[in-house]
């Protein structure tokens, strides 16, 4: 037992040991995100009046102040005041709180007590108590509850790119406050990139007098231009930087909130801004010619070590992130100095040359007691001996590195890149592409099943990335980060078995109030309906579920494609249809549709469930979707090519033959594709349909040309419609020409 000095404290501790359940029916008032390990709700409230005394043991004053400041209260460490305090932060022993980052929170009608072993544990208790208040309609009425809690992962990160757009210290602090409120503990500060260097380095002042500024602020103007830099003080200069004092202030501010700041200094790629300013560090020695440091040049190492020396003096983090992503190796191939480095060190190629640089950086960082962290490209050419890998190009880098015994942080684009769309792009500000609704973030599991169970401990946690090419303002950044960060916080904090989307969605409702109170420009829940069919091909039946980000919306639908009204079918849950239908559904409030209706044609077309032969392969390791069933399973893809219904063809054509089983009279065929040029997804140049009776001799019957421009930047869908009236055949071959040699994505070939 904790040595409780006051009777009221003792009473609170006793409640900790009382088995829960008696008041389990009281619910809906405790809505903590991320979900704590154990919550036992009690009846009643603790009323926080304006003269409440907050007592803290000396080691927990940071935590106590965080709670007290937001509630306009002050903290006392005077033991004499302890007996009168209503909110207490108390040190506990290892026997009482098993996990060093864990805490207990007990709220009774008389007092609230946070028990913890460590400063971070106390901070997490303070966050929970703060949320308990800010999620109530009456913030001064704290519901009585006992919470026992500890994190699942030790690394719970948010990355923030301040190169593409600069964000002031005041906003970085606000962002850190919000991270702390949701128990995120690592801030990955992407400080340098081709769009601007953002950290004062005393030895290289031009990094901030020149490389931190560009003449064009708007990404959509600067990126397609010659990408010049400007100079601080020029009338049109856009950018900014943090002084070393600014950065120290951020580090200190974050530390008080239990957050480690990891700085990222990019190398060898993404370094255009350095090389325009210090061109002697590039292969050609000329500015504006390359984005990669010359690895053959000794002054490159002098520069990088000088910079890292100043960086380490500011940032006490164990990890220093050195980037390592997306380096173009072409300059190194033509550079005599780089080739000489390869020869002298017995390296095989330019991949090993990059690895040579990363290994030297690791040796340097290690000599200063730090560890190297890099994007998963640092695996190529051989991983530095003790490097930690951030897996962003999917999960494979993380799987490989963990299985090799390296620590990894998972940040796969499909689940963790918060620069992607979170709702229908037509309703959203311009984004870089992709589609990552909050539900998909929530579904993420940081330990991939492909990691050997004995190696799972190498997954330190996960992180969301906020790349800011298309995020120029603080409001926009909040829109992209929230509420998705809340979903991620639960992914990395809460035990997997304790996670439930429906339960999270319910608790999220209370956090809309909290986010509004803190003036966070969060993305409001979408009114879009996902119409999710489930086919029974044998019985020719389909059951349909309507899914929404709204909580319990009133939905009406029709099955003949007509617009729904309050006289249409009221959606009461999954319903069943026989045969084909055109479902049209909408949320209707006060007699009016709140957004445009959503449509889905469920097709029992002639190709459904038929065998498909691939004359050229789909992208089996990246976008197999439902493999050979994908194109004829009746399911249409959603807005995202990563949704498991869009099949990818990487670089090659789509060329498939569908066997209809016997000679079949044909009417029409539709083949649907998507275009999203950001990630290199294009429409086919043309779709050619050929028919055959024997599967060997085909006659080409129709060609449909693409009419979507390859420069169309919005997410675009097109069904190539082919008229086949009067034709009869058993085998139908569909050839879609991948003229751009990028990705083709197809979701269905429909034959009537």
- Residue 557 contacts ligand ACM per CB under 6 A: no
Question: Which backbone phi and psi does 639 adopt, to 5 degrees?
Answer: -75, -10
Residue length, the chain? 752
**CA atoms within 13 Å, Cβ hemisphere of 97:** 29
Q: How many residues bind ligand ACM (CB under 6 A)?
A: 4
Among 375, 470, 504, 535, binds ligand ACM (CB under 6 A): 375
Please state the closest distance from residue 403 (CB atom) to ligand ACM, in A: 21
Pick the closer one to ligand ACM by CB: 289 or 325: 325
Please state the closest distance from residue 558 (CB atom) to ligand ACM, in A: 43
Q: Which residues make Cβ contacts (< 8 Å) with residue 497, sequence separation at least 6?
A: none
Please state the closest distance from residue 453 (CB atom) to ligand ACM, in A: 28
Please state the closest distance from residue 155 (CB atom) to ligand ACM, in A: 17
Pick the closer one to ligand ACM by CB: 411 or 633: 411
Q: Give whole-number Cα distances, 589 to 349, 552, 598, 689, in Å.
A: 63, 12, 16, 46
Pick the closer one to ligand ACM by CB: 326 or 628: 326
Please state the closest distance from residue 159 (CB atom) to ligand ACM, in A: 9
| Tokens found for residue 752 | 């009537």
Please state the closest distance from residue 373 (CB atom) to ligand ACM, in A: 12
Please state the closest distance from residue 260 (CB atom) to ligand ACM, in A: 20
Report whether 749 contacts 631 (CB < 8 A).
Answer: yes
Pick the closer one to ligand ACM by CB: 180 or 481: 481
- Residue 432 contacts ligand ACM per CB under 6 A: no
Pick the closer one to ligand ACM by CB: 321 or 479: 321
Pick the closer one to ligand ACM by CB: 8 or 198: 198
Pick the closer one to ligand ACM by CB: 350 or 377: 377
Report the candidate in 473, 482, 489, 477 with the shortest Cα–Cα distance to residue 512.
482
Q: Give whole-number Cα distances, 213 to 193, 208, 292, 306, 441, in Å.
A: 12, 8, 19, 22, 34
Q: How far apart are CA 187 and CA 164, in angstroms?
A: 17
Q: How far apart are CA 13 and CA 10, in angstroms?
A: 5
Catalytic site positions: 193, 270, 326
Pick the closer one to ligand ACM by CB: 164 or 370: 164
Q: Give whole-number Cα distances, 463 to 235, 277, 324, 410, 489, in Å.
A: 38, 32, 17, 6, 9
Q: Which residues make Cβ contacts (< 8 Å) with residue 390, sequence separation at least 6?
A: 321, 373, 374, 375, 376, 408, 409, 411, 463
Q: What residues from 324 to 343 belong to the interface with ligand ACM (CB under 6 A)?
A: 325-326
Pairing of strands 192-193, 186-190: unpaired
Please state the closest distance from residue 672 (CB atom) to ligand ACM, in A: 29
Question: Which backbone phi and psi does 665 adopt, to 5 degrees?
Answer: -70, 135
Pick the closer one to ligand ACM by CB: 392 or 720: 392
Q: How far apart are CA 638 and CA 480, in angstroms?
A: 20
| Tokens found for residue 601 | 């044609």
What dihedral angle (degrees, nearest 10) is formed by the CA atoms of 191, 197, 198, 200?
Answer: 120
Q: How many CB atoms lie within 10 A of CB 685?
A: 14
Please state the closest distance from residue 325 (CB atom) to ligand ACM, in A: 4
Supply angle C-alpha 705, 706, 708, rounded to 5. 155
Q: How many CB atoms lie within 10 A of CB 454?
A: 9
Q: Which residues make Cβ contacts (< 8 Å) with residue 440, sequence separation at least 6?
A: 414, 415, 640
- Residue 392 contacts ligand ACM per CB under 6 A: yes
- Contact residues toward ligand ACM (CB under 6 A) are 325-326, 375, 392
């Amino acid at each position: 037992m904790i040595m409780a000095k006051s009777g009221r404290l003792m009473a609170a501790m006793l409640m900790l040991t009382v088995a829960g359940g008696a008041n389990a029916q009281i619910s809906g008032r405790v809505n903590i995100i991320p979900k704590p390990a154990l919550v036992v709700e009690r009846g009643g409230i603790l009323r926080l009046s304006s003269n409440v005394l907050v007592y803290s043991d000396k080691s927990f004053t940071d935590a106590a102040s965080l709670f007290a400041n937001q509630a306009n209260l002050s903290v006392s460490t005077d033991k004499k005041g302890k007996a009168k305090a209503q909110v207490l932060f108390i040190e506990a022993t290892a026997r009482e709180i098993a996990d060093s980052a864990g805490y207990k929170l007990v709220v009774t009608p008389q007092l609230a007590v946070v028990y913890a072993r460590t400063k971070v544990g106390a901070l997490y208790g303070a966050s929970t108590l703060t949320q308990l208040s800010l999620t109530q309609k009456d913030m001064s009425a704290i519901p009585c509850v006992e919470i026992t809690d500890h994190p699942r992962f030790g690394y719970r990160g948010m990355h923030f790119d301040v190169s593409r757009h600069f964000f002031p210290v005041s906003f970085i602090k606000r962002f850190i406050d919000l991270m702390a409120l949701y128990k995120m503990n690592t801030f990955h500060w992407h400080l340098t990139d081709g769009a601007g260097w953002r950290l004062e380095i005393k030895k290289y002042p031009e990094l901030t007098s020149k490389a931190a500024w560009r003449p064009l602020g708007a990404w959509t103007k600067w990126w397609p231009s010659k990408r010049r830099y400007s100079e601080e003080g020029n009338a049109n200069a856009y950018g900014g930087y943090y002084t070393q004092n600014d950065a120290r202030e951020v580090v200190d501010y974050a530390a008080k909130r239990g957050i480690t700041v990891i700085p990222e200094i990019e190398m060898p790629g993404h370094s255009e801004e350095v090389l325009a300013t210090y061109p002697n560090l590039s292969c050609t020695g000329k500015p504006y010619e390359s984005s990669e440091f010359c690895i053959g040049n000794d002054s490159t190492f002098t520069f990088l070590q000088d910079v890292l020396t100043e960086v380490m003096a500011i940032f006490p983090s164990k990890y220093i992130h050195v980037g390592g992503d997306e380096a173009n190796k072409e300059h190194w191939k033509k550079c005599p100095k780089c080739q000489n480095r390869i020869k002298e060190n017995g390296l095989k190629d330019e991949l090993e040359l990059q690895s040579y640089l990363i290994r030297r950086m690791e040796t340097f960082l290690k000599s200063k007691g730090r560890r190297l962290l890099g994007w998963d490209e640092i695996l190529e050419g051989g991983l530095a001996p003790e490097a930690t890998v951030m897996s962003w190009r999917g999960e494979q880098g993380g799987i490989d590195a963990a299985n090799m015994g390296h620590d990894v942080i998972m940040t796969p684009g499909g689940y963790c890149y918060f620069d992607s769309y979170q709702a229908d792009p037509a309703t959203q500000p311009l984004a870089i592409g992709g589609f990552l609704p909050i539900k998909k973030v929530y579904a993420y599991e940081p330990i991939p099943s492909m990691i050997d169970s004995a190696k799972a401990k190498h997954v330190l946690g996960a992180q969301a990335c906020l790349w800011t090419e298309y995020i120029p303002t603080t409001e926009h950044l909040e829109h992209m980060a929230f509420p998705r960060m809340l979903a991620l916080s639960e992914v990395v904090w809460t035990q997997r078995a304790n996670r439930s989307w429906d339960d999270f969605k319910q608790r999220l409702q209370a956090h809309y109030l909290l986010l509004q109170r803190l003036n966070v420009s969060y993305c409001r829940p979408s009114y879009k309906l996902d119409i999710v069919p489930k086919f029974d091909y044998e019985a020719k039946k389909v059951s349909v579920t309507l899914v929404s980000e709204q909580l319990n919306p009133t939905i009406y639908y029709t099955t003949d494609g007509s617009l729904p009204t309050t006289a249409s079918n009221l959606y009461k849950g999954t319903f069943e249809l026989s045969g084909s239908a055109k479902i049209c559904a909408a949320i209707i409030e006060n007699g009016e549709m709140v957004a445009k209706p959503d449509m889905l044609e469920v097709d029992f077309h002639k190709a459904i469930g038929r065998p498909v032969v691939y004359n050229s392969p789909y992208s089996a390791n990246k976008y197999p979707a439902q493999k050979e069933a994908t194109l004829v399973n009746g399911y249409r893809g959603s807005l995202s090519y990563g949704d498991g219904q869009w099949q990818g063809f990487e670089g090659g054509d789509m060329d498939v033959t569908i066997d209809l089983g016997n000679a079949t009279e044909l009417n029409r065929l539709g083949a649907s594709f998507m275009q999203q040029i950001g990630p290199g997804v294009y429409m086919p140049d043309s779709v050619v349909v050929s028919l055959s009776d024997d599967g060997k001799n085909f006659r080409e019957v129709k060609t449909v040309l693409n009419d979507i421009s390859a420069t169309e930047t919005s997410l675009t869908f097109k069904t190539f419609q082919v008229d086949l009236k009067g034709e009869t055949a058993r085998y139908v071959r569909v050839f879609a020409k991948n003229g751009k040699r990028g990705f083709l994505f197809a979701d269905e070939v429909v034959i009537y």
